[in-house]
């Protein structure tokens, strides 16, 4: 059984996933929550300089997965919580759905996808398996019944992906992109691909797909899987988005120099993860702050343009099974509600002191958004300066052990300079007036 085909609170395949991750390093250790930080000392930090004139990557958005064959669909109310951007809503702007191998299941994904697009969200889709008629079995290591796409079915498979895109469009959903394969390098429960097979499909067949194409969606952002795509001009020409998953990927592997060298004109998306695990409640604090650091590093160090969670609604996800936003969800919302599609990440002092992570973004409305993650056990009095900015006021929102996205009023600014108070073990988003 797939780790994702479950209906309970935990993924049944997670032990095998965990055994794989154990080979690249121990999972983060859960630290017990400490009392609120009001009694802790306040630490002064080096000034954070934000320069809107130095642009990094355009941000496409933040979101998660809906898979109605493996778990129940989002309810109408949960769709509003996920994709609306009012009070008590996540403000997600990306929805990922599956390309089901059976066409009879395609209609199951329409309702949530249509509502997401009505909220302005981008919808992408990933297949786990081609239709059964296109698949053959082979021996893969110790797996005697491994699956792969038959070589004489590459053209038919491209038509299958294009047919799904057309079907969704005919039902009111314009897919932004479709993937060739979900996790082709971790496919014990679905379809395997080698890098050379992926290159061949992209080069010879992906050009016939009438929407943007995502590949390879390696489960650990394994560069040896995507390097051959970047190094093959024909395959690269038919790739629009280099997609990756970050399960157990160490931070030092986040940068991708070859993509920076050869990926001009292509997008870079993180299309699936849960972090730090799927076994703990998403409401554990300060563990949920790990999600904030993970998103920060994915945007700042890896340069991803989108950050997409696994299941939107799950006990370990941004929305609990009761439809309420979890602590992990509140942390994600510090980005998703304020850093809207089309915003651009701009230069900022990213690590002014240990355990403090800062990133900044600007929108077409001239707003500047600063997101600060304080994982330290002391409050920080943090000075900020936004270069060539005349804002006189800054609004802020806070999540900590006892508060979720709580508005903190308006801070006076002078010539773009202000001081923000960052409580211990907290997440704060600042938005210029």
Question: Which of the residues are catalytic?
Answer: 183, 272
H helix intervals, 301-377: 327-336
Longest C-alpha distance within the chain, in Å? 68
Rounded distance between C-alpha atoms, residue 267 and residue 239, angstroms: 9
CA distance 14 to 375: 27
Q: % helix / strand / coil in the chain, to the nearest 5? A: 25, 30, 45
CA distances from 65 to 102, 113, 420 (A): 19, 10, 34
Q: How far apart are CA 248 and CA 250, in angstroms?
A: 6
Dist. CA 88–CA 323, nearest whole Å: 11
Give the residue among 95, 242, 245, 257 at the shortest CA–CA distance from 173. 95
Instruction: State how far the Cα of 112 lies from the Cα of 64, in Å rounded to an integer.
Output: 12
Report the C-alpha gap between 121 and 94 in whole angstroms: 5
Distance CA 428, CA 399 (A): 7
**Of how many residues is the chain composed?**
433
Backbone torsions φ then ψ of 21, nearest 5 degrees: -65, -30
Contacts of 405 (CB under 8 A, 6+ apart): 330, 333, 334, 337, 397, 398, 399
- DSSP 3-state assignment of 219? coil
Burial of 29 by CB count in 10 Å (0-12 exposed, 13-18 middle, 19+ buried)?
Answer: exposed
Where would I find the beta strands (DSSP E) of 39-141? 42-44, 48-58, 61-65, 94-99, 122-127, 135-140
Tokens 């799927």 identify what position? 278
Q: What's the CA gap between 338 and 358, in Å, rounded?
A: 15
Which H or E run includes 112?
helix 110-118
């Amino acid at each position: 059984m797939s780790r994702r085909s479950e209906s309970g609170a935990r993924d049944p395949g997670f032990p095998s996933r965990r055994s794989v991750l154990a080979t690249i390093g121990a999972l983060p250790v859960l630290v017990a929550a400490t009392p609120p930080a009001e009694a802790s000392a306040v630490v002064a930090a080096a000034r954070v300089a934000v320069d809107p004139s130095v642009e990094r990557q355009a941000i496409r958005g933040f979101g998660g997965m809906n898979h109605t064959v493996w778990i129940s669909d989002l309810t109408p109310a949960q769709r509003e919580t996920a994709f609306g951007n009012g009070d008590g809503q996540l403000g997600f702007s990306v929805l990922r759905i599956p390309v089901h191998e059976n066409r009879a299941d395609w209609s199951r994904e329409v309702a949530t996808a249509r509502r997401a697009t009505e909220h302005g969200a981008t919808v992408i889709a990933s297949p786990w398996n081609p239709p059964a008629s296109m698949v053959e079995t082979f021996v893969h290591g110790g797996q005697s019944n491994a699956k792969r796409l038959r070589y004489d079915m590459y053209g038919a498979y491209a038509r299958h992906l294009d047919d799904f895109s057309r079907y969704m469009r005919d039902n009111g959903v314009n897919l932004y992109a479709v993937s060739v394969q979900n996790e082709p390098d971790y496919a014990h429960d679905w379809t395997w691909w080698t890098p050379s097979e992926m290159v061949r499909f992209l080069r010879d067949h992906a050009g016939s797909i009438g929407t943007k194409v995502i590949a390879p969606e390696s489960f650990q952002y394994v560069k040896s899987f995507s390097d051959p795509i970047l190094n093959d001009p024909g395959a690269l020409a038919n790739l629009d988005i280099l997609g990756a998953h970050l399960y157990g990927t160490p931070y030092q592997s986040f940068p991708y120099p070859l993509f920076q060298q050869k990926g001009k004109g292509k997008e870079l998306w993180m299309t699936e993860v849960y972090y730090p695990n799927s076994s703990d409640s998403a409401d554990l604090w300060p563990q949920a702050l790990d999600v904030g650091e993970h998103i920060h590093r994915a945007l700042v160090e890896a340069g991803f343009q989108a950050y997409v969670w696994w299941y939107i609604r799950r006990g370990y996800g941004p929305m609990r099974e009761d439809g309420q936003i979890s602590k992990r969800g509140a942390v994600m919302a510090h980005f998703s509600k304020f850093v809207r599609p089309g915003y651009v990440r701009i230069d900022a002092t990213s690590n002014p002191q240990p355990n403090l992570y800062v990133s900044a973004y600007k929108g077409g409305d001239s707003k500047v958004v600063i997101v600060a993650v304080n994982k330290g056990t002391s409050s920080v009095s943090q000075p900020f300066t936004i270069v060539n900015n005349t804002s006189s006021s800054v609004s802020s929102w806070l999540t900590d052990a006892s508060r979720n996205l709580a508005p903190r009023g308006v801070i006076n600014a002078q010539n773009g300079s202000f001081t923000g108070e960052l409580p211990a073990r907290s997440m704060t988003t600042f938005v210029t007036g």
